[in-house]
Amino acid sequence: MFYMREVYRILPNQLNKFNDFFHKYLLPNQLKNGAKLMGRWTTELQDEIIAIWEYPNYEEYLKIEDRVVKDEMHKRLKTQQHQDGKMFIDMRKDILTSTGAYHIPKQAVAVSGYITNDKNETLLVKTYWRKDTWELPGGGADDGETLDATLRREIYEETGIKVKLLGVSGVYSNGSTLSIVFLGKCIGGNLTTSNETEEVGFIALNSSNISQYIKRGKFLPRVLDAMKGKCVPYEAFKVRPYELLQRYNGNLEND
């Protein structure tokens, strides 16, 4: 991984104003184009803000930065910055190099959904950082969030579509990421894009045209497996005390 530290020296009494500017303009543009914010801090005197960003490698960092400055949101950022006036004295960037691994290795968990409508069309998205391919909507689980809740939230945020999930169609291990695909049905909502998705739509997929939409090899088996319509049960529960939160019976469902 490649890490970049940004340090802003803030003008007196400008911290809250700069934070609002960051969350409304700077952060969404970075996220939509593929950057990951590791954390953001301010000093005790509130005269500096430090942000650390993560990228897959230096080459990807350069590509992401190029997309950021070309994005329409960057133009709005510059306009708003001119209207707000000066909020910080200066900003510097530093490349950070890890000196070792100081955490217990773990898998990141991501979920995606093969969601169909009443015409048997499949819900697909095209993100800002993977414009070469369509893919199933989804994302990473927050701490303490069940996988089904994660997927319903991510699909609604990315596409505006509300879904009913049926079960799990496949589990895929990709390096340090565990990807779980659910089958589901559209039950409402209206198609809309988001800060992450450039295009969304229901597409009539079949075995002869799937390669025209799904361009990346790791996504193709997940979609092909889900197209078979087979899924296994899924349960979410909590402990101390035990409580069943959700269960999908997969192909055992009668409704």
Q: So what CATH class is 109-252?
A: alpha beta
Q: Catalytic site residue 199?
A: yes
> What pLDDT, in 10s, does the model give residues 47-86?
999 999 999 889 999 999 999 999 999 999 999 988 989 9
Contact 3, 38 (CB under 8 A): yes
- CA–CA distance, 219 with 222 (Å, rounded to integer): 5
2-96: CATH topology is Alpha-Beta Plaits (3.30.70)
pLDDT score of 253 more than 70: no
Residues pairing with 100 in the sheet: none
Predicted TM-score (pTM) of the model is 0.68
Catalytic residue among 44, 65, 199, 235: 199
Fold matches, 2-96 and 109-252: no
- CA–CA distance, 161 with 196 (Å, rounded to integer): 15
Sorted by where each begins, the domain ranges of the chain are 2-96, 109-252
Closest-CA residue to 46 (of 21, 77, 80, 10) = 10
DSSP notation for 224-238: HHHHTT--B-EEEEE
